[in-house]
């Protein structure tokens, strides 16, 4: 059997209980056809980048699947028919992830501790990023003097 990751987005106006029933329905489809669902993750009600079928938000769910291709085809057919599903994507992978997905892992605060007053500081305390005044440009030779125009020196 092959490994798959499937993510679907349910409409914003369905309840969490209805989303759970959708997950159970898709799980039953996979199990009836000889596959198994190794992980179910509810990512929550999240904002969509753009409106899809008049929805601004959606319930995101991830399913890790170990199933034969006909089971995946039947699950996707049912997702197309269901009016509560606004988008879905199923991808075949070489191996399934163990533990929480990237969406569920806590966001590390690494790199944010150096932030000070809207600017970042490098390891030596120099600022970079943000707006402000720029340093004078130098020519190729490295001097801060502007190059003579006209080519005569």
CA distance 81 to 47: 23
Query: What's the pLDDT band for 57 if we cut at 50, 70, 90?
Result: very high
The domain ranges of the chain are 2-93
Average pLDDT value over all residues in the chain: 80
Assess whether pLDDT exceeds 50 at residue 27.
Answer: yes
Assess whether pLDDT exceeds 50 at residue 115.
Answer: no
pLDDT tens-digit profile of 75-86?
999 999 999 999
Query: What's the pLDDT band for 112 if we cut at 50, 70, 90?
Result: very low
Phi and psi at 78, nearest 5°, equal -70, -35
pLDDT tens-digit profile of 28-43?
999 999 999 999 999 9
Give yes or no for a contact between 56 and 44, defined as CB atoms under 8 angstroms apart: no
What is the layout of strands, in order, in the sheet containing 55-67? Answer: 36-52, 55-67, 2-11, 85-93
Give yes or no for a contact between 84 and 18, defined as CB atoms under 8 angstroms apart: yes
Residue with the bigger pLDDT between 147 and 53: it is 53
Which class in CATH covers the domain with range 2-93? alpha beta
CA distance 116 to 96: 40
Residue 123, pLDDT score: 61
Query: What's the pLDDT band for 110 if we cut at 50, 70, 90?
Result: very low
Mean pLDDT of 125-132: 58
Give yes or no for a contact between 118 and 127, defined as CB atoms under 8 angstroms apart: no
CB atoms within 10 A of CB 114: 12
Give yes or no for a contact between 39 and 104, defined as CB atoms under 8 angstroms apart: no
Give yes or no for a contact between 58 and 46, defined as CB atoms under 8 angstroms apart: yes
CA distance 11 to 57: 7
Q: What is the pTM of this model?
A: 0.67
């Amino acid at each position: 059997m092959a490994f798959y990751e499937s993510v679907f987005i349910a409409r914003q106006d369905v309840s969490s209980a209805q989303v759970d029933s959708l997950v159970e329905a898709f799980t039953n489809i996979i199990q009836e056809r000889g596959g198994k669902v190794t992980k179910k993750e509810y990512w929550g009600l999240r904002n969509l980048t753009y409106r899809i079928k008049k929805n601004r938000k959606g319930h995101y769910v991830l399913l890790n699947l170990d199933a034969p291709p006909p089971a995946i085809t039947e699950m996707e057919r049912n997702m197309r028919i269901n009016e509560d599903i606004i988008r879905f994507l199923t991808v075949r992978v070489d191996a399934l992830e163990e533990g929480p997905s990237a969406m569920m892992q806590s966001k590390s605060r690494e790199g944010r501790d150096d932030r000070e007053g809207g600017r970042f500081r490098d390891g030596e305390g120099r600022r970079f990023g943000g707006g402000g005044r720029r340093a004078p440009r130098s020519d190729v030779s490295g001097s801060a003097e502007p190059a003579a125009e006209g080519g005569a020196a």
